[in-house]
Structure 1
Amino acid sequence: MKTAVRFPSSGMTLAGHLYTPGGPAAGPHPAIVVGRPFTGVKEQTSGLYAERPAARGFITLAFDAAYQGESEGLPRGPEHPFQRAEDVRNAVSYLTTRADVDPERIGVLGICASGGCVPYAAQTDHRMKAVTTVSAVNLPPFMAAFPEYGAMPAEAGRLRSEEAAGREPKLSSPLPESVDESTPAAMREFFAYYRTPRAQHPRSTGYYVQRSLDQLAQYDSCATLHLLAPRPPLMIAGTAAETLPFSRIGVERAGDNAELHTVEGATHVDLYDVDEYVTPAVARLTEFFGRHLARD
């Protein structure tokens, strides 16, 4: 069952969808917070990855990050990695207040960009007992290829001054307005997901406030992954994903108990919604959560 919920984060109210098991179960349930990709919303892949484990006895929460989707925050569209981590912590806090959730059995899942922010939040929040990612991305090296990234953070100060003078925030998008055979394959993948009926959503604009890149320049989700220990992180990625190296690096830095699980033939975006690849990924996730969120 899916229910619309609201919870606070840094003075803002965030919107989420809470998924609960269909049948009764004894005692409070284990729970999972699910983060979303860059500029994504809860109605897309994070909702899919929240819905499926709920059918296997978990309470799950997919939510819109602050400043995006149905959540509060002005201006609309900044991608603040530190606020994203805070949103994850506050989503966990919300779950701990629910009588149907066991606060000692909460796990987290980050997809794409939140595959960086979720483990980053978990490094110092030990309420997150099991940490997982799907198609994880560490945003600064990933976005280094964006034309505007090299000019940040120097350009950010000017943009902040413009906003202070009353101008609208400057928006940018990682996606082109159209694609053809000359467009890099990864961009065609993202375009096919976000800009076609396959998954486009009116609240997933695909745009972000450009000056927020200055915060990304200070952020590294992988630098202190060893702080997750002794909790066991699981990172899932497709063997055909250009972003697979991020998961490999994450597992290396997280320590001996970290696990890398690859889905044969899957690209980065295949793991968003292509059932052939999502099904084995969810099976591995639920097995992992079931083992590490089991009752003592």
Structure 2
Amino acid sequence: MTQPRPFQLFTGGTSLAATLHRAVPDLVEPQPAIVVTGSWLTVKEQMADLYAARLAERGYTVFTFDFAGFGASDGTPRQAELPARKIDDIIAATRAVSTLSFVRPGAIGYLGICASAQYAVRAIAAGAPIAAFASVAGWFHDARSVAPFYGGADGVAGRLDRAADALAAYQRTGEVRTVPAYEAGNERAGMFLDLDYYGSPKRGAVPTWTNEMAELSWAYWLTFDGLSAAPRVQVPSLFVHGDGCVLPENLRAVAGTVAGPAETVWAEGTQVDFYDQEPQVALAVDAADAHFRAHL
């Protein structure tokens, strides 16, 4: 049984609130390390900590952290899904982890769940000290493939207009205009489909999660390119996905174009099943453990 302990990753920029998961009671014995992050608009206490606890029991030192502007981390604007900022956080966090003597040198893995998988690919391509990568129910999109989630061209245009207004207000006064991160049936929300994970306190609606999204986020989320960096990823990569997960064709494209060795594990289950449900989590943890054990 692991005992999580609070940690802080001082990156030289934003200070990132983290949790250290480690089965060994001391901070002396070097272990391979894994950094785990979750979906967009989330905090570490949601899907990331669940995976981290499971992996720590397998002999890894595992870190989760809140991205800048979320949870207990510093950073403004708050609740803003800014892919470039999150990519920088991944680079900074893994560099900070690499300085710790209880982390085996050169043995840092990264497990990204949902949208943070595409940010990790960008971070690896930019030189983050990550030796092996695993994607679980990875969300990989570009402007063309993400548009249907939001009503096509008209839905995207409306959101970009609202983002422009929100950005203008932020630039003028510092005001951060927010909408719900999740509210079933509310098309102004970040997520408006019926998703029990985000609606249930027994699942993802945890006390540390703020159910808000900065409306300026649309300008960056809807225009993000999560696909083209894949050919610059040379580290061994694992992709756990399925036809019931989001954008399976994009996942196949990314897995097929990374420069390093890649393995794909195709499984049954919906996107949010892989956040906290069995047998999906156990399957993903087993696959990730085998992958990291082989490459770290």
What amino acid sits opposite 1:240 in the alignment? G
Give 1:86 deviation, angstroms: 1.0
Task: Out of 115-124 and 25-34, give the one that drifted further.
Answer: 25-34
TM-aligned CA distance change 1:158 to 1:57, over 3 Å:
same
Asked whether the equivalents of residues 41 and 181 of structure 2 are also in contact (C-alpha less than 8 Å), the reply is: no
TM-aligned CA distance change 1:32 to 1:173, over 3 Å:
same
- Which residue among 173, 191, 197 is the counterpart of 1:166? 173
Query: Partner of 1:275: helix, strand, or coil?
Result: coil
Q: List structure 1 segments (4+ residues) > 4 angstroms apart after TM superposition.
A: 23-27, 152-155
What amino acid sits opposite 1:206 in the alignment? N
Match in the other structure for 1:183: none
Aligned identity (percent) is: 26
Asked whether the equivalents of residues 162 and 215 of structure 2 are also in contact (C-alpha less than 8 Å), the reply is: no
Give 1:242 deviation, angstroms: 3.6
Give 1:171 deviation, angstroms: 1.6
- Which residue among 264, 268, 279 is the counterpart of 1:276? 279
Unpaired stretches in structure 1, ≥5 consecutive residues: 180-185
Query: Partner of 1:187: helix, strand, or coil?
Result: coil
TM-aligned CA distance change 1:51 to 1:150, over 3 Å:
same
Deviations 1:39-93 (A, max 9, x none): 1111111111111111111001111111001111123111110111111111111
Match in the other structure for 1:222: 227
Match in the other structure for 1:266: 269
Query: Partner of 1:105: helix, strand, or coil?
Result: strand
- Provide the rounded CA distance (Å) in 2 between the counterparts of 1:149 and 1:208: 16
- Provide the rounded CA distance (Å) in 1 between the counterparts of 2:116 and 2:68: 13
Match in the other structure for 1:238: 242
What amino acid sits opposite 2:228 in the alignment? A
Q: State the Cα RMSD in Å.
A: 2.4
Normalising by structure 2, we get a TM-score of 0.87
Matches within 5 A, 1:139-218: 139-140=141-142, 141-142=145-146, 145-146=149-150, 149-151=156-158, 153=160, 155-166=162-173, 168-173=175-180, 175-177=182-184, 187-188=193-194, 191-199=195-203, 200-218=205-223
Match in the other structure for 1:182: none
- Provide the rounded CA distance (Å) in 1 between the counterparts of 2:59 and 2:262: 25
Unpaired stretches in structure 2, ≥5 consecutive residues: 187-191
TM-aligned CA distance change 1:10 to 1:245, over 3 Å:
farther
Asked whether the equivalents of residues 14 and 71 of structure 1 are also in contact (C-alpha less than 8 Å), the reply is: yes
Aligned length: 283
Give 1:219 deviation, angstroms: 2.5
- Provide the rounded CA distance (Å) in 2 between the counterparts of 1:109 and 1:216: 21
Query: Partner of 2:127: helix, strand, or coil?
Result: coil
- Provide the rounded CA distance (Å) in 1 between the counterparts of 2:41 and 2:179: 11
